[in-house]
Amino acid sequence: MKRILAIFGIICLTLFFPMEGVSQQKVRKVVIDAGHGGKDPGAVGKYSKEKDIALSIALKTGNYIQKNLPDVEVIYTRKTDVFVELHNRARIANDNEADLFISIHCNANNSSKPYGTETYVMGLHKSQANLEVAKLENAAILKEEDYSDMYDGFDPSRDEDYITLTLFQNAHLESSLILASTVQDQFRERAGLKDRGVWQAGFWVLYKTAMPGILVETGFLSNANDEKYLRSDDGQSYIASAIYRAFKEYKLMIEDPGNRATMAIDQQPIVKDEIVFRVQFASSSKEKSLNKFKEIDDVRVYRHNGTYKYTSGNLTSFSEAIKLQNKIRGLKKYSDAFIVAFENEERIDVDEARELTGQ
C-alpha cells in the first residue's frame, strides 16, 4: 500500500535479537492515561469535551483488561474529572514501574472533514499536521503553574522546542510501534473505524515515560459523525474493546518468545509516509533539463500518464503551497500553475491529501 512504510530494520532486530531484552519479561502492569481533565477540557466538539470521552474510554478499557486478564494490574492516571499535570502522569507510570503506558485522547481540526483514528509513538514529526497534534495535546502544560521551570523551559507552542525534544532516542520504539500498529489493526478490522495510520511526534508524556508507550487519538470531535460515535456508549465500548484486544495480542507476543518473531513479521510496524504539496507549472512530452527553469527554485520532474511534469516546492503546509502557487503564477508564462500532492512520491488527489493531513 502506498501509505505504508515497513520498518525493515526494526523487524530484523526483533527477529534476531531479544527485543529490548524482554526474553523473560512479563506484562503485569499497564498505566491507562485518560487525557486532559478538570480545568483542561482538551478538544471541544459541538456536544462534548475530550476530557469526558477519554475518561470513559479509559475506564472501559481498564475494565476489559481487569475482567479478562486478572494477572494484569491496571493503574489509572485519573479516574475522575480532575486535572493531572503531564509530568505527574509520567511520574505515575515510572514510580509504579509499569510495563506499558497507553494514553487515550480525542482529536480535533479546524476543518470538519478529517475523521478516523490515529495512534502515535514518540519520535520526530514528519509533517506540520503531526506537529499540530502534538502541540494540541502538549498544550495542557500551559495550564500548570511555573510550567517553564517544571519542563526545563519547554514551550509547547514553539516549533523549535520540538526539535530538541524529538532528538531523544526512544529505547522502546520498536515495542511501541508494534503495539501502535496492533491498535490500528483492531480499530480497522474489529471496530470498522477509519485507519489513519501510525505516526510519530513529540508528545511530552511519551518522552518522559520509561517504558513502551502509545498515544491513541480515537476520533475527531470536529467531525459530526466521529463525535456522534465517540459520544455513544456503543462507540466507546467498541473503541475500548479494540484497545484491549491489541493489548492482549501485545502481551502474548512479549511473554511468549515463540510468538514474538511470527507476530513481528505479521505486524510490520508502520509509520505514515509524509504527504507533501508541490506547484506544477509546466509539462512536456520530452524530458527537459531543469536548468531551463532558472527563475524557479527547487524544481523537480515526475512522469505521469506518459508526460514529463515539472514542479516547485516540497511543502507540508497547503497554505504555504497556495502562496508558492501565487508567486509562480506571477511569472506570466506560468499563469496556469496549480497545486499537486504526493504521498511516498506517488501523486494523489489534492483533496485527499488535505483530508489526510487535516488541512
Which whole number is the average pLDDT over 4-12?
Answer: 38
140-195 tens-digit pLDDT: 665 666 655 566 666 655 655 555 555 555 668 888 999 999 999 999 988 889 89
Q: Is 351 found in the same domain as 262?
A: no
**Is the predicted pLDDT of residue 27 greater than 90, yes or no?**
yes
- What pLDDT band is residue 20 in, cutting at 50, 70 and 90? very low
Residue 279 pLDDT: 95
Q: Is 222 found in the same domain as 117?
A: yes
Sign of CA dihedral 291, 296, 300, 306: negative
Q: Is 280 found in the same domain as 230?
A: no
Which whole number is the average pLDDT over 40-50?
Answer: 95
**Is the predicted pLDDT of residue 259 greater than 70, yes or no?**
no
CATH code at position 108: 3.40.630.40
- What pLDDT band is residue 11 in, cutting at 50, 70 and 90? very low
Domain interval for residue 241 = 4-272
Which whole number is the average pLDDT over 248-253?
Answer: 93
CATH code at position 280: 3.30.70.1070
Q: Is 263 found in the same domain as 164?
A: yes
Q: Is 169 found in the same domain as 225?
A: yes
Which whole number is the average pLDDT over 115-137?
Answer: 71
Q: Is 135 found in the same domain as 18?
A: yes
Residue 21 pLDDT: 43
Which whole number is the average pLDDT over 245-266?
Answer: 74
* Residue 277 near residue 339, CB atoms below 8 Å: yes
Q: Is 295 found in the same domain as 246?
A: no
Residue 12 pLDDT: 42
Q: Is 147 found in the same domain as 16?
A: yes
Encode the chain in three state secondary structure: CCCEEECHHHHHHHHHCCHHHCCCCCCCEEEEEECCECCECCCECCCCEHHHHHHHHHHHHHHHHHHHCCCCEEEECCCCCCCCCHHHHHHHHHHCCCCEEEEEEEECCCCCCCCCEEEEEECCCCCHHHHHHHHHHHHHHHHCCCHHHHCCCCCCCCHHHHHHHCCCCCCCHHHHHHHHHHHHHHHHHCCCCCEEEEEEECCHHHHCCCCCEEEEEEEECCCHHHHHHHHCHHHHHHHHHHHHHHHHHHHHHHHCHHHHHHHHHHHCCEEECCEEEEEEEEEECCCCCHHHHCCCCCEEEEEECCEEEEEEEEECCHHHHHHHHHHHHCCHHHCCCEEEEEECCEEECHHHHHHHHCC
Q: Is 322 found in the same domain as 207?
A: no
Q: Is 106 found in the same domain as 70?
A: yes
Residues 193 and 174: their CA atoms lie apart, in Å, by 24
Neighbours of 167 (CB within 10 A): 9
- What pLDDT band is residue 343 in, cutting at 50, 70 and 90? confident
Number of structural domains, the chain? Answer: 2
Which of 224, 240, 272 corresponds to the end of one domain? 272
**Is the predicted pLDDT of residue 19 greater than 50, yes or no?**
no
Which of 223, 245, 272 corresponds to the end of one domain? 272
Give me 340's grid cell. Answer: 499537486
Residue 117 pLDDT: 95
Residue 1 pLDDT: 40
**Is the predicted pLDDT of residue 269 greater than 50, yes or no?**
no
**Is the predicted pLDDT of residue 120 greater than 70, yes or no?**
yes
- What pLDDT band is residue 17 in, cutting at 50, 70 and 90? very low
The better pLDDT of the pair 133, 125 is held by 133
Full-model pTM: 0.66
Q: Is 167 found in the same domain as 311?
A: no
Q: Is 221 found in the same domain as 195?
A: yes
Which of 237, 257, 272 corresponds to the end of one domain? 272
**Low-confidence winner among 92-101, 180-189, 201-210, 216-225 (lowest mean pLDDT):** 201-210
Which whole number is the average pLDDT over 262-285?
Answer: 69
